[in-house]
Amino acid sequence: MRILHLLVLLCITLKGYSQNRITLLSDSAGAVISRNIYGHFAEHLGHCIYNGFYVGDTNREIPNTQGVRNDVIAALKNLQIPNLRWPGGCFADTYHWKDGIGPKGERPSMVNKWWGGVTEDNSFGTHDFLNMCELLGAAPYLSGNVGSGTVQELSDWVQYVNFDGKSPMSELRRKNGRDKPWGVKFWGIGNEAWGCGGNMRPEYYADEFRKYTTFMGEGVFKIASGASSADYKWTETLLKQIPLDMVDGIALHHYSVIDWDKKSSATRFTEQEYFLTMQQAIRMEELIGKHTAIMDKYDSAKKVALVVDEWGGWYDVETGTNPGFLFQQNTMRDAMIAGTTLNIFNNHADRVRMANLAQTVNVLQAVILTRGEKILLTPTYHVMEMYKVHQDATLIPLRAAVNNYIVGNQKLPAVSTSASRDSNGFVHISMVNIDIHATQELDIDLKGLQVHFISGRILVSKKIQDCNTFDSPEHVKPVAFNQVQEKGGTLHVSLPPGSVVVLKLHGGRP
């Protein structure tokens, strides 16, 4: 009897059978998952803008619209990209927007001091970016220059892009060929003010924020430069010193980096390095929880959004590329980061109402890589595409008891999940198994939700180091998933090692 018991235990341990239990609290109404959680970030950094998005207005080799690659536009439209942050990052606090308007041949140039010391000719400026956002159907999110700019400069920018009547700035806009304002809602007041944005103390920055926003006018969504990872003092100081009616969002930046002085290769990494990267990605849960707790103290009505406007994996640059350009490959490890992080954001949709993956094209955890006329969609792209079903859907809160993924004497939760109901009544459940050895068996209690038909897609590959290359751009891509059964109100799902799965439940309430 005792031996039988041990055998059963062994089977359960080896297979992970039924150890993961998820309960969908399908009767409780969660927050709406803002589509803006699925936002992106494009900085004047390396080949994100130049030779990434933008190949020049006179380029005949690469099909483009006003200089922006058509294939990039199509790929991002397919993601339903909700918003795009520009022009930085650190670059934003060196950027003088008036240098980027008017005839391109007459625009002054500058040195991009943060990113490779290259010459920036300002050929991609305000009109180029905002027109591109129109092509993408994305809301623009402009980062203002607080570090080296002026209050006048930022208030002029708001007037230039948003004022419909007659004013010095709107007349200048018209002279430059644009009659109607673009109506830019999202504005960042500086970037990383604690670092490249001016090395300020939070008390000083809070005053700067109050001063800059005073002259920006009403009707715009004002986002304060927020904390780096666990700098809770930064968040608390801003909330103490900035009245709630002056601020709409507070930012948070957190990268999944093992060690700033010793990062890992983007493709040739060990399991230990993978584990440490995932530890940093999963840390987002704790960071959001603690920053939110501080925000709740000062803003119990949750008026102010937590805006995670920089997140993603950060590794060594690819061999032979400019270290200042932050060009890195993107593997199934990045798919694990993306799926896990987006589940965390979804589950905190009441406070996290905007986020921006760093960065869209050719920089850090990019969704798109380009080389000449070639383009590839990364594993991260495919996760964002699979997860787009959550945009503007209503969160279904859940309870989860899951197995651990153990490496050496350290462990992480092996499975992450989130669920939502869209406006057509379809329920989507997204799941990630970060364990690269064991299939994880999940029992999902639907709590009375009726299901007539289930469809699903999976992103998985043989190795966690697998990626798409310009020679093999479709090596990693989603395929149909059918390892799911429904029995007596419970879904049973087999999640292969290192996989991301999104299920669509067709059905309704009892």
| Catalytic sites, residue numbers | 192, 310
Using the minimum distance from each CB to ligand AHR, give the nearer residue, 156 or 310. 310
Min dist. Cβ of residue 42 to ligand AHR (A): 10
Min dist. Cβ of residue 41 to ligand AHR (A): 7
CA distances to 242, 342, 504 from 458, rounded to whole Å, are 45, 16, 12
- Is 100 an interacting residue with respect to ligand AHR (CB under 6 A)? no
Residue from 64, 112, 159, 191 in contact with ligand AHR (CB under 6 A): 191
Give the Cα separation of 70 and 439 in Å (integer): 40
* Residue 432 DSSP SS3: strand
* Residue 401 DSSP SS3: strand
Task: Convert residues 437-476 into a mask of x (bound to ligand AHR by CB under 6 A) and - (unbound).
Answer: ----------------------------------------
Contact 415, 433 (CB under 8 A): yes
- Is 367 an interacting residue with respect to ligand AHR (CB under 6 A)? no
Using the minimum distance from each CB to ligand AHR, give the nearer residue, 264 or 440. 264
Q: What pairs with residue 255 in β-bridges?
A: 312
Span 61-90, contacts to ligand AHR by CB under 6 A: 88-90
Min dist. Cβ of residue 310 to ligand AHR (A): 5
Using the minimum distance from each CB to ligand AHR, give the nearer residue, 52 or 89. 89
Using the minimum distance from each CB to ligand AHR, give the nearer residue, 115 or 405. 115
Supply 316's token pair.
Answer: 């060594």
Helix (H) / strand (E) containing 382: helix 379-387
Min dist. Cβ of residue 368 to ligand AHR (A): 16
Using the minimum distance from each CB to ligand AHR, give the nearer residue, 88 or 413. 88
Min dist. Cβ of residue 490 to ligand AHR (A): 43
- Is 226 an interacting residue with respect to ligand AHR (CB under 6 A)? no
Side chain identity, residue 334: D
* Residue 269 DSSP SS3: coil
Min dist. Cβ of residue 363 to ligand AHR (A): 7
Q: How many residues bind ligand AHR (CB under 6 A)?
A: 10
DSSP assignment of 302-342: --SEEEEEEEEE--PPPTTS-GGG-----BHHHHHHHHHHH
Min dist. Cβ of residue 257 to ligand AHR (A): 10
Using the minimum distance from each CB to ligand AHR, give the nearer residue, 147 or 478. 147
Give the Cα separation of 94 and 87 in Å (integer): 10
Give the Cα separation of 142 and 160 in Å (integer): 13
Span 102-161, contacts to ligand AHR by CB under 6 A: none
Nearest-CA neighbor of 352 among 219, 223, 195? 223
Min dist. Cβ of residue 154 to ligand AHR (A): 18
- Closest residue to ligand AHR, Cβ-based? 89
Residue from 43, 156, 435, 466 in contact with ligand AHR (CB under 6 A): 43
Contact 426, 506 (CB under 8 A): yes
Min dist. Cβ of residue 162 to ligand AHR (A): 24
Side chain identity, residue 371: R
Using the minimum distance from each CB to ligand AHR, give the nearer residue, 162 or 359. 359
Using the minimum distance from each CB to ligand AHR, give the nearer residue, 89 or 147. 89
Question: Strands 440-445 and 427-433: what pairing?
Answer: unpaired
Report phi then psi at 390, rounded to 5.
-80, -15
Using the minimum distance from each CB to ligand AHR, give the nearer residue, 364 or 395. 364
Residue from 120, 208, 248, 310 in contact with ligand AHR (CB under 6 A): 310
Nearest-CA neighbor of 414 among 391, 396, 439? 439
Give the Cα separation of 471 and 478 in Å (integer): 18
Stretch that binds ligand AHR, among 101-109, 230-238, 356-364, 500-508 (CB under 6 A): 356-364
- Is 192 an interacting residue with respect to ligand AHR (CB under 6 A)? yes
Indicate if the alpha-carbon torsion angle 74, 79, 81, 84 is positive or negative.
Answer: negative
Task: Convert residues 261-300 into a mask of x (bound to ligand AHR by CB under 6 A) and - (unbound).
Answer: ----------------------------------------
Stretch that binds ligand AHR, among 158-166, 278-286, 358-366, 398-406 (CB under 6 A): 358-366
Helix (H) / strand (E) containing 40: strand 39-41
How many other CB atoms are there within 10 angstroms of residue 168's CB atom?
11
Q: Tell me the CB-side half-sphere exposure of residue 486, using CA atoms within 13 A.
A: 17
Q: Tell me the CB-side half-sphere exposure of residue 359, using CA atoms within 13 A.
A: 25
Using the minimum distance from each CB to ligand AHR, give the nearer residue, 112 or 418. 112
Min dist. Cβ of residue 253 to ligand AHR (A): 6
Please classify residue 9 by burial: count the beta carbons closer than 10 Å to its beta carbon, then call 0-12 exposed, 13-18 middle and 19+ buried: exposed
Q: Among all chains, which residue has been given the structure tokens 């948003």?
A: 162
* Residue 260 DSSP SS3: coil
- Is 358 an interacting residue with respect to ligand AHR (CB under 6 A)? yes
Give the Cα separation of 397 and 124 in Å (integer): 43
Question: Which positions lie near ligand AHR, rule CB under 6 A?
Answer: 43, 88-90, 191-192, 310, 358-359, 364
